[in-house]
């Protein structure tokens, strides 16, 4: 085992190409794939927890989270695709189950979904089978499988609230390419297409349809005018997510639309459009807006909407803020940071600051902070960047681009170029440990420059092929390089001489690392081995098994070595290197690792990969603690800022300070004015309340006196009511006593009547019993006679049954004998086993108790086996019955085959006869074809005339298009007028606002005037206060403007009104002219239609004449012979039917052309309706 280990600490990046690659776990935690892990990221705290992927898996394909947000399903591609279910309730996201396709060969699961109760899981396998699996995932049981499609691909699927295992319906959309969908309710489904259409289905019927691009925003129009035209991107609806108010969907590049339910049952209304903001750190800010949203998700409370894009970026927005910003354009914000969207080609760290620099093929350079886990700076360039190096101070940056190399300053908010060097395609660069020099690779040459004078000090030449890695030693006196030519060279950094070398031509080296004492070099190459070179001789080699090494790094303490592989894993190897293969492998990335580095304090390992992710590993010891530091490193806090930026910020601060002072003065003045107003109001209110209190006191005394009077009157009324009540009680008692006596007498009479009734019923019952006994005796005699007859029949049946029982017993004996033989074999087998067990028992006396338990278990197994034998016998009987039925079916099928063979022979004879007839008919066909060619030559001129007529129709269609264009121009003018009206409305609102401001100023003036009135008896103070009022409220410009303001307003109003009247009158004239032109065109088209119908009728007549002429030619040629009369009549019928079909086809084509012309005329618009033809001009009838 290695003395040093690593664990995942933080990762920057998102893995694209994963279905449903962004999920909400709770209100503030999201889950997304990154590298070969799933990350649980807390938005508020900015911390991450990792869910590691399966080892040696090729790629993640899809994610799914259960409805209760407890379980996460991750599908991974491989030789045998798997779905892993994790329990998110635990902090470490414990693995619960691993599901596969069982015996069905599956290479990938493209999408998944949990059932609403989280008990079932559905997974869609990839092509070419496209099998759908249905699991009870907790029991690892496949409930059902079904093939969903033959063509593919499937982009998304989900489970409805009511689960059904068979296909209940199929919605066919021939012309629509559906990309996404979401369930709004148990029966309502909304789907999005590749053409930007939203379709709402309910009970498998299309209920509502709309387009997300129905209303183009004015901002888009203005952008399209400013920027050059680009190829139009279809507004693909790639994802839809439903919530309580409606749903959210992607609406083309960088756009998400929110739809809410309307009062109508089946429709939705577009309420808000949310856009991805432009990136100001790029040369083309609009590129960020062109990202396609691939996944949308909502947190459980439906307050936050998060989105992932096809370029590996994560965004989010609060729906509350989106609804509140009514006038402004709602925009997404980054969920955490901006990530790389391409292969990371360069990685570097510095000494004085906790910074990491990366560059990528997405033309960007980014600066990360590994202490705060944040993105400090980033900037995009026009060229691809291949390598990057941070100065040890952390203030300068060296970047190798495709055309040149640039030295840049890291400012407080920008990365600014200082010097450019003519080093093309620099794939590797590095600052020296002291920072006074830097090396850059140009193909197979290494250039060394001074970091202070920027002079090219040395050019190191010696490699035959490209140099892939360079490293400075601790005192900057040596440079070590390795290349694809299999050479590792040590150069003197002062003289430029090659001091030592190690060459192995069979290997191409990719990366090199030096030990802390610079005496040992570690190199990796394309031969899948790690080589330790000491004294420039290969000391040890460590093979990597099946994963080629791509990067290598060593800790500054020299305790451990780390390597990166082509499958994205990191290996920790203890140093000195062991003789055997001994390492710990960690799965981190999903693509080959390109670069690795270790921070100066040996606390973190950094790895960058082709998947665009930067992973920070925490280096720990066996006990899980961080490595001990020799010194406590204090990072520098200095930053670079230019003089102009500093002056601008100081100037801005001064302006803000002056503004703050002005606001303080204004606030103090307003507070004083308000205090005075409030004091006056308090006095008025106190006087009012005193008056009200006095009035309430007087009212209270009046109410008390009234209450005393009412109490006296109520007591008198109560006494009267009590006397009346006592009298009524006495009367009621006397009347009730009399009624009780009467009821008692009636009760005695009814008792006497009931006694008489009981006596009469008893007599009747005795008579009925006597009659019943007589009837029973008669029935017994009758049924005894019948019983004797049945007994005789029973005897006969018993004889027959005895015979059947004997036969059954014979069959039973035979079956029992067979069973006994089988039982004897099994018993012999088990007796042998028992004998062996007994012998083992004798040998192992010490373990007697355990063996007795085994014996009891074996006896139980014997009883089970006996039961199984009985079951097998029953199954054997069933199978014999099935075999008999199948033999009967086989005999019936053989009979059918014989009958079909006979019919086939008859049909073959008939076919032979028909072939002979066909040969004779082909001879006649040759003669007729020659005659038909002659007739076609006569018809050709007519066809030419028809073509000319079609060209005329096309010209007429062109004229119709011109009319359409004119209509569109008129609509544009109308929209311009509407815009002008809106502008005038805005001016009116501004003037109304000005009026309100003036009213507020008048109120202020009144208060100040009221204060002046307080000095009415002090003339000097009064004069001073009035002067202050004049200076405060009256200005010379206002005096001049007030005079000319009203006149200007009236002139502008009259001028605008005249202009609008003129435009409306000119539009009316144009409408009248266009209506007249349309009427003329309509009449012209109707006349041409009449002419065409006449021409068709003439052509039909000529066809009839041609047919008669052909008939005459046939009679002259002697075709109708008696010997072949049947064949000739058959040919004539064929020819006539063929000609009739051709005629009908021509007529249908003509009618279709006429309908299309009429349809085009009707669709001409919103122009005045076309007038019907005059009653005098009737169309001629079509003659057949």
pTM of the model: 0.58
73 pLDDT band (50/70/90 cuts)? very high
Mean pLDDT of 727-735: 81
- Residue 1176's pLDDT is what? 42
The token pair at 302 is 């439906």
Same domain? 449 vs 573: no
405: tokens are 């190399």
pLDDT tens readout for residues 909-957: 888 888 888 888 887 777 777 778 777 777 777 778 888 888 888 888 8
Count of domains forming the chain: 4
What is the mean pLDDT of the segment spanning 849-866? 77
Three-state SS annotation for 876-942: HHHHHHHHHHHHHHHHHHHHHHHHHHHHHHHHHHHHHHHHHHHHHHHHHHHHHHHHHHHHHHHHHHH
Q: Say whether pLDDT at 1158 is over 80.
A: no
Q: Is the same domain home to 381 and 486?
A: no
As a whole number, mean pLDDT of residues 178-202 equals 87
- Phi, psi dihedrals of residue 59, rounded to the nearest 5°: -165, 150
Structure confidence by residue, pLDDT tens digits, 30-49: 999 998 899 999 998 889 99
- Quote the percentage of the chain above a pLDDT of 70: 89
Are both 126 and 86 inside the same structural domain? yes
What is the Cα 463 distance to its own chain's centre? 51
Query: What is the average per-residue pLDDT within 655-674?
Result: 90
Q: What is the mean pLDDT of residues 585-589?
A: 89
| 182 is a domain residue | no
Using alpha carbons, list the distances in angstroms from residue 275 to 182, 250, 938.
21, 10, 68
Contact predicate 447/440, CB 8 Å: yes
> Is 50 exceeded by the pLDDT of residue 1079?
yes
Complete edge-to-edge strand list for the sheet that includes strand 614-621: 4-12, 614-621, 604-609, 593-598
CATH number reported for the structural domain that contains residue 443 in this entry:
2.130.10.10
If asked whether residues 1093 and 966 sit together in one domain, one would say yes
Of the residues 408, 428, 461, the one at which a domain ends: 461
Backbone angles phi, psi at 815, to 5 degrees: -60, -40
Phi, then psi, of 95 in degrees rounded to 5: -75, 130
Q: In the listed set 164, 194, 216, which residue is the last one of a domain according to the structure?
A: 164
Q: Which H/E stretch holds residue 1160?
A: helix 1125-1162
**pLDDT tens-digit profile of 510-553?**
999 999 888 899 999 988 899 999 988 888 888 888 789 999 99
Provide CB contacts within 8 A for 342, sequence distance 6+.
360, 361, 362, 612
pLDDT (average), residues 616-627: 83
Pairing mode of beta strands 374-380, 304-309: unpaired
The per-residue pLDDT for range 158-174, each reduced to its tens digit, is 666 444 444 444 555 55
* pLDDT of 295: 93
d(CA 562, CA 1001): 76
At 292, phi and psi to the nearest 5? -95, 125
Q: Please state the φ and ψ torsions of residue 188, each to the nearest 5 degrees.
A: -105, 130
Per-residue confidence (pLDDT) for residue 686, from 0 to 100: 87
Cβ-contact 571, 581 below 8 angstroms: no
Alpha carbon dihedral 1083, 1086, 1087, 1092, in 10-degree steps, equals 160
DSSP 413: S
Give the pLDDT of residue 1169.
42
Predicted confidence (pLDDT) per residue in 209-244, tens digit: 888 875 433 334 344 344 443 434 568 898 999 988
Inform me whether the pLDDT recorded for 1166 exceeds 50. no
CB count in 10 Å sphere of residue 53: 21
> Do 128 and 19 belong to one domain?
yes
Q: Is residue 59 part of a domain?
A: yes
Range of the domain at 574: 472-627
Residues 1033 and 964 in one domain: yes
**In this structure, is residue 272 part of a structural domain?**
no
In this structure, the answer to whether residues 450 and 505 fall within a common structural domain is no
583 or 633, higher pLDDT: 583
Per-residue confidence (pLDDT) for residue 290, from 0 to 100: 84
Residue 1041 φ/ψ, nearest 5 degrees: -70, -35
Please give the pLDDT value at position 221: 38
User: Is 529 a domain residue?
Assistant: yes
Among 164, 192, 218, the domain boundary falls at 164
pLDDT band at residue 571 under the 50/70/90 scheme: very high
Mean pLDDT value across residues 829-851: 75
Say yes or no: 454 and 476 in one domain: no
Over residues 668-685, the pLDDT tens digits come to 988 888 889 888 988 888
The rounded distance, in Å, linking the Cα atoms of 236 and 675 is 61
Distance CA 1040, CA 1031 (A): 16
Q: Using an 8 Å Cβ cutoff, are 599 and 355 in contact?
A: no
Say if residue 80 is in the same domain as residue 29.
yes
Q: Residues 1039-1072, buried b or exposed e (16+ Cβ, 10 A)?
A: eeeeeeeeeeeeeeeeeeeeeeeeeeeeeeeeee
Count Cβ atoms within 10 A of the Cβ of residue 722 and give its class: 0-12 exposed, 13-18 middle, 19 or more buried. Answer: exposed
457-475: pLDDT as tens digits: 999 999 999 999 999 998 8
In this prediction, residues 881-896 reach a mean pLDDT of: 85
Question: Residues with Cβ < 8 Å from 961, sequence gap 6 or more?
Answer: none
What secondary structure letter does DSSP report for 67? T
User: Does residue 577 lie within any of the structural domains?
Assistant: yes
- The span from the CA of 603 to the CA of 626, in Å, is 7
Task: Check pLDDT > 60 for residue 1136.
Answer: no
Count helices and strands in the chain by DSSP H and E runs? 7, 53
* Omega cis (within 30) before 1029: no
Per-residue pLDDT tens over the stretch 596-609: 999 998 899 999 99
Here the tokens at position 451 are 């970091």
Burial class of residue 452 in the structure, from the number of CB atoms within 10 Å of its CB (0-12 exposed, 13-18 middle, 19+ buried): exposed
Q: What is the pLDDT of residue 1133?
A: 55
| 56 inside domain | yes
Helix (H) or strand (E) holding 27: none
Instruction: State pLDDT tens for residues 350-406.
Output: 999 999 999 999 989 999 999 999 999 999 998 899 999 999 999 999 999 988 999
Residue 149 lies in a domain: yes
Mean of the per-residue pLDDT values for the chain? Answer: 82
* pLDDT attached to residue 407: 94
Prior bond of 796 cis (ω within 30°): no
Does residue 818 fall inside a structural domain? no
3-state secondary structure of 78: coil
Confidence check: pLDDT of 710 > 90: no
430 with 502, same domain: the answer is no
The sheet carrying 37-42 orders its strands as 23-24, 29-34, 37-42, 48-52
* Region class of 1062: left (phi > 0), else alpha (psi between -120 and 50), else beta: alpha
pLDDT at 1180 over 50: no
Q: Using an 8 Å Cβ cutoff, are 488 and 521 in contact?
A: yes
Q: What is the pLDDT of residue 397?
A: 94
pLDDT in tens, 796-807: 877 777 887 787
Residue 967 pLDDT class (50, 70, 90 cuts): confident
What pLDDT, on the 0 to 100 scale, is given for residue 229?
37
Which two tokens mark 1044? 């000319």
Are 500 and 457 in the same domain? no
Q: Which of 268-277, 321-330, 411-420 has the lowest mean pLDDT?
A: 321-330
Q: In terms of domains, do 364 and 493 share one? A: no
């Amino acid at each position: 085992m290695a003395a040093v280990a690593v664990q995942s600490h933080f990762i920057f990046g998102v893995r694209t190409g994963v279905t449903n690659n962004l999920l909400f776990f709770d209100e503030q935690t999201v889950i997304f794939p990154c590298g070969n892990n799933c990350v649980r990221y807390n938005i508020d705290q900015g911390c991450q927890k990792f869910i590691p992927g399966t080892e040696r898996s090729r790629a993640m394909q899809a994610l799914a989270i259960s409805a209760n947000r407890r379980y996460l399903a991750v599908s991974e591609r491989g030789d045998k695709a798997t779905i892993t279910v994790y329990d998110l309730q635990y902090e470490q996201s414990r693995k619960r189950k691993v599901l596969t396709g069982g015996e069905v060969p599956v290479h990938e699961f493209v999408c998944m979904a949990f059932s609403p109760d989280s008990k079932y899981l559905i997974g869609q396998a990839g092509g070419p089978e496209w099998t759908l699996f249905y699991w009870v995932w907790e029991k690892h049981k496949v409930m059902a499988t079904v093939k969903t499609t033959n063509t593919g691909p499937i982009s998304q699927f989900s489970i409805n609230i009511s689960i059904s295992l068979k296909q209940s319906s199929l919605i066919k959309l021939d012309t629509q390419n559906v990309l996404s969908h979401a369930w709004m309710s148990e029966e309502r489904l909304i789907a999005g297409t590749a053409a930007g259409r939203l379709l709402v289905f309910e009970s498998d019927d299309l209920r509502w349809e709309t387009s997300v691009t129905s209303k183009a925003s004015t901002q888009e129009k203005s952008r399209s005018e400013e920027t050059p035209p680009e190829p139009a991107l279809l507004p693909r609806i790639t994802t839809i997510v439903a919530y309580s108010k409606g749903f959210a969907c992607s609406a083309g590049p960088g756009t998400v639309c929110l739809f809410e339910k309307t009062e109508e049952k089946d429709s939705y209304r577009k309420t808000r459009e949310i856009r991805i903001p432009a990136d100001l750190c790029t040369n083309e800010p609009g590129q960020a807006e062109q990202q396609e949203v691939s996944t949308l998700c909502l947190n459980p409370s439906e307050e936050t909407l998060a989105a992932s894009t096809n370029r590996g970026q994560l965004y989010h927005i609060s729906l509350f803020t989106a609804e509140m910003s009514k006038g402004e354009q709602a925009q997404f914000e980054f969920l955490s940071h901006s990530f790389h969207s391409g292969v990371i080609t360069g990685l570097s760290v510095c000494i004085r600051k906790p910074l990491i620099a990366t560059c990528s093929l997405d033309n960007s350079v980014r600066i990360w902070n590994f202490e705060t886990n944040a993105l400090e700076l980033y900037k995009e360039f026009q060229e691809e960047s291949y390598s990057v190096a941070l100065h040890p101070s952390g203030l300068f940056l060296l970047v190798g681009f495709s055309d040149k190399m640039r030295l840049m300053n890291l400012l407080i908010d920008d990365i600014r170029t200082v010097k450019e060097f003519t080093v093309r395609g620099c794939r590797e660069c590095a600052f020296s440990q002291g920072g006074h020099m830097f090396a850059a690779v140009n193909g197979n040459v290494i250039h060394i420059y001074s970091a202070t004078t920027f002079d090219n000090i040395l050019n190191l030449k010696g490699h035959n092929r490209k140099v892939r890695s360079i490293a400075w030693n601790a005192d900057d006196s040596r440079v070590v390089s390795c290349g694809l030519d299999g050479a590792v060279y040590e150069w003197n950094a002062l003289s430029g001489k090659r001091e030592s070398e190690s060459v192995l031509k069979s290997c191409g080296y990719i990366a090199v690392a030096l030990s802390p004492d610079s005496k040992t070099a570690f190199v990796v190459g394309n031969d899948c081995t790690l080589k330790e070179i000491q004294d420039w001789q290969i000391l040890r080699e460590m093979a990597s098994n099946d994963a080629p090494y791509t990067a290598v790094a060593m800790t500054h303490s020299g305790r451990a070595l780390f390597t990166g592989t082509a499958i994205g894993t990191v290996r920790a190897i203890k140093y000195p290197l062991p003789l055997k293969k001994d390492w710990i492998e960690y799965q981190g990335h999903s693509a080959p690792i390109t670069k690795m580095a270790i921070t100066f304090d040996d606390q973190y390992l950094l790895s960058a990969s082709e998947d665009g992710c930067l992973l920070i590993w925490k280096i720990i010891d066996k006990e899980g603690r961080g490595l001990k530091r020799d010194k406590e490193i204090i990072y520098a806090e200095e930053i670079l800022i230019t003089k102009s930026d500093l002056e601008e910020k100081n100037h801005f601060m001064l302006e803000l300070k002056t503004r703050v002072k002005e606001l303080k003065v204004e606030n103090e003045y307003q507070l004083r004015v308000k205090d005075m107003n409030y004091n006056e109001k308090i006095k008025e209110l106190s006087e009012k309340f005193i008056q009200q209190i006095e009035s309430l006191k007087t009212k209270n005394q009046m109410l008390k006196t009234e209450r005393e009077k009412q109490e006296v009157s109520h007591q008198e009324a109560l006494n009267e009511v009590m006397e009346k009540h006592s009298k009524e009680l006495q009367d009621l008692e006397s009347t009730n006593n009399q009624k009780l006596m009467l009821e008692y007498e009636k009760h005695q009479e009814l008792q006497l009547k009931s006694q008489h009734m009981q006596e009469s019923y008893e007599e009747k019952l005795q008579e009925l019993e006597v009659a019943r006994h007589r009837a029973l005796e008669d029935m017994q005699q009758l049924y005894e006679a019948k019983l004797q007859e049945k007994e005789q029949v029973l005897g006969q049946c018993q004889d027959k049954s005895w015979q059947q029982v004997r036969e059954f017993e014979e069959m039973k004996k035979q079956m029992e004998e067979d069973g006994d033989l089988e039982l004897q074999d099994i018993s012999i087998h088990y007796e042998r086993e028992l004998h062996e067990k007994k012998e083992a028992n004798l040998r192992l006396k010490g373990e007697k108790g355990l063996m007795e338990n085994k014996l009891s278990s074996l006896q139980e197994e014997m009883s089970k086996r006996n039961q199984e034998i009985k079951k097998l016998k029953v199954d054997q009987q069933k199978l014999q019955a099935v075999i008999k039925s199948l033999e009967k079916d086989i005999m019936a099928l053989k009979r059918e085959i014989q009958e079909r063979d006979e019919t086939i022979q008859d049909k073959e004879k008939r076919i032979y006869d028909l072939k002979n007839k066909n040969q004779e008919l082909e001879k006649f066909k040759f003669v007729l074809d020659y005659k038909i060619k002659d007739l076609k030559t006569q018809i050709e001129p007519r066809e030419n005339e028809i073509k000319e007529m079609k060209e005329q129709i096309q010209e007429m269609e062109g004229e119709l298009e011109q009319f359409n264009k004119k209509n569109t121009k008129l609509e544009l003018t109308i929209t311009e007028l509407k815009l002008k009206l809106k502008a005038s409305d805005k001016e009116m609102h501004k003037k109304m606002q000005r009026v309100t401001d003036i009213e507020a100023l008048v109120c202020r003036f009144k208060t100040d005037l009221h204060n002046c009135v307080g000095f009415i008896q002090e003339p000097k103070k009064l004069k001073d206060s009035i002067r202050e009022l004049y200076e405060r409220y009256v200005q010379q410009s206002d005096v001049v403007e007030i005079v000319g303001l009203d006149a200007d307003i009236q002139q502008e109003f009259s001028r605008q009104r005249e202009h609008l009247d003129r435009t409306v009158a000119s539009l009316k004239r144009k409408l009248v002219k266009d209506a007249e032109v349309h009427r003329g065109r309509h009449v012209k088209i109707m006349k041409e239609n009449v002419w065409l119908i006449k021409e068709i009728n003439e052509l039909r007549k000529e066809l009839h004449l041609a047919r008669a002429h052909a008939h005459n030619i046939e009679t002259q040629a002697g075709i109708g012979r008696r010997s072949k009369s049947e064949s000739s009549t058959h040919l004539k019928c064929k020819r006539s039917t063929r000609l009739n079909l051709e005629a009908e086809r021509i007529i249908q084509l003509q009618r279709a052309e006429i309908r299309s012309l009429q349809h085009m005329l009707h669709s001409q618009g919103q122009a005045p309706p076309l007038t019907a033809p005059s009653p005098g001009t009737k169309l001629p009838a079509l003659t057949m």
